[in-house]
Amino acid sequence: MPVVERLLPSDEAREVVALAADICAKELEPRIARDEAEAHFPREVFTTLGQAGLLSLPYPERFGGGAQPFEVYLQVLEEIAYRSASVAVGVSVHALSCYPLANFGTDTQREEHLPRLLSGDLLGAYCLSEPHAGSDPAALKTTATPPTETGGDYVLSGTKAWVTHGGAADFYTVFARTGEGRGGISCFLVDEDTPGMTPHAPERKMGLTASPTTQIAFENAAVPANRLVGAEGQGLTIALSALDSGRLGIAAAATGLAQRALDDAVAYAREREAFGRPIIDHQGLGFLLADMAAAVESARATTLAAARLRDAGRPFSRAASIAKLVATDAAMKVTEDAVQVFGGAGYTKDYPVERYMREAKVMQIFEGTNQIQRLVISRHLAKA
């Protein structure tokens, strides 16, 4: 990755970001075009990242985490996205799936499960959305019938949608209804081999094809009572809290993708000639690239500003929504403009910029559509 002017909080943080860049250049760059073309999920890459400590950066050392500030973790995600948006989104989703357990689980639950989750031995998935309940998680219908007074398991029934790593994950953080209304949702940690839990065939997507996305069906799936995360009825609070951090992960991934599209476009514009000189020297093209660079820098600054609020223990929900909105809209515009810089060549699969544009689109949709982000921001403004 070309030099990005980063303000990192420590020498250790600089080493961590450099390590991520080096691993991704060696492990991801040579394979990602093939993996995307063949819709092949690079599971072994997640093991490599886990062994290097890059899946556990924002979590406590006590459970095998890196105890790094969130701003460092996000800049690692950006480095990963520079090579592979699919893997970066997967890392963000894995961190999201660990969040409820790490922040709301009991000490016993965390000591039993977190070390393996954070090491990369196990890969996680996050099951909140449903076919009829995407932007409105409070409308979910999957049920978890509580145990009887004499003990037993919760019994889950329903269907979850848009599950990243569906069918490939080792554990699933699942939100299901244990009562009525917004206060009737609970959170569970579910193993991938749970009887009655069945992944559907992967969705046929326009981008991020190396990352499987499926529906997950639950039909009388028994989940032990000790796999309830947090209190019964606390699930929606847990889910929304996790999404604030998850939105920052997507913002960082979008920034890394946009940086790659910009760098590829600049390299092409320096080499391609028209009217006797490189096309970057023509003002119309040069100004387009300048706007792309401004958009990338703005996305990075907005994302890291939100992360620093989080690291300082200050409210960051509004800032997270702003970062997700700004960074993913920027990624869509920058990748689209990168295709324009390449001209007709950019519309072919001979160059990866067409893939970048397809990958950017979904970032405006998941972890809350950008319309939902605007709603969140406006509600914060109304309360202020």
- Average pLDDT of the chain to the nearest whole number: 94
Both tokens of residue 366?
């998941």
Quote the longest CA-to-CA distance of the chain.
Answer: 84
State the pairing for strand pair 124-127/171-177: parallel
The whole-number pLDDT of residue 4 equals 82
Sheet strands (E) in the chain: 124-127, 143-145, 153-164, 171-177, 185-191, 197-199, 213-224, 228-229, 273-274, 277-278
Residue type, 122: L
79, 20 in Cβ contact below 8 A?
yes
Q: Is the pTM higher than 0.85?
A: yes
The whole-number pLDDT of residue 3 equals 61
Structure-token match 């929900």, residue found: 317
| Percentage of the residues of the chain whose pLDDT score is greater than 90 | 89
The whole-number pLDDT of residue 273 equals 85
Q: Looking at residues 305-333, what average pLDDT do you find?
A: 97
Structure-token match 């605007």, residue found: 374
Residue type, 102: A
The whole-number pLDDT of residue 1 equals 47
Q: Provide the CATH topology of domain 240-383.
A: Butyryl-CoA Dehydrogenase, subunit A; domain 3 (1.20.140)
Q: How far apart are CA 298 and CA 292, in angstroms?
A: 10
pLDDT tens sequence across 102-146: 999 999 999 999 999 988 889 999 999 999 887 888 889 999 998
The answer on pLDDT for 163 being more than 50 is yes
pLDDT tens sequence across 213-254: 999 999 999 999 999 999 999 999 999 999 999 999 999 999
The whole-number pLDDT of residue 148 equals 75
263, 212 in Cβ contact below 8 A?
no
Top-confidence residue, 30 or 64: 30
336 flagged as catalytic:
no
Q: How many CB atoms lie within 10 A of CB 148?
A: 8
In our burial notation (b when 16+ CB lie closer than 10 A, e otherwise), range 350-367 reads ebbbbbbbbbbbbbbbbb
Q: Provide the CATH topology of domain 124-236.
A: Butyryl-CoA Dehydrogenase, subunit A; domain 2 (2.40.110)
Kindly report the CA angle at 359 between 340 and 343, in degrees rounded to 5?
A: 15
pLDDT tens sequence across 185-222: 999 999 999 999 999 999 999 999 999 999 999 999 99
pLDDT band at 384 (very low <50, low <70, confident <90, very high): confident
Residue type, 162: W
197, 221 in Cβ contact below 8 A?
yes
Q: What phi, psi does 213 have (nearest 5°)?
A: -130, 125
Q: How far apart are CA 195 and CA 292, in angstroms?
A: 49
The whole-number pLDDT of residue 26 equals 95
Both tokens of residue 347?
């519309």
Residue extents of the structural domains in the chain: 11-119, 124-236, 240-383
Q: How many CA atoms lie within 13 A of 156 on its CB side?
A: 33
Most confident stretch, 63-72, 273-282, 351-360: 351-360
Q: Looking at residues 66-92, what average pLDDT do you find?
A: 96
In our burial notation (b when 16+ CB lie closer than 10 A, e otherwise), range 212-235 reads bbbbbbbeebbbeeebbbbebbbb
Q: How far apart are CA 63 and CA 98, in angstroms?
A: 12
pLDDT band at 338 (very low <50, low <70, confident <90, very high): very high
**Which whole-number Å values give the CA distances from 242 to 6, 95, 131, 138, 367, in the listed order?**
26, 9, 21, 15, 10
Q: Provide the CATH topology of domain 11-119.
A: Butyryl-Coa Dehydrogenase, subunit A; domain 1 (1.10.540)
The whole-number pLDDT of residue 150 equals 56
pLDDT tens sequence across 254-307: 999 999 999 999 999 999 988 999 989 999 999 999 999 999 999 999 999 999
The answer on pLDDT for 66 being more than 70 is yes
pLDDT band at 149 (very low <50, low <70, confident <90, very high): low
Residue type, 160: K
Q: Looking at residues 140-169, what average pLDDT do you find?
A: 91
Q: How far apart are CA 11 and CA 27, in angstroms?
A: 24
Q: How many CA atoms lie within 13 A of 7 on its CB side?
A: 7
Q: Which of 27, 36, 354, 367 is catalytic?
A: 367
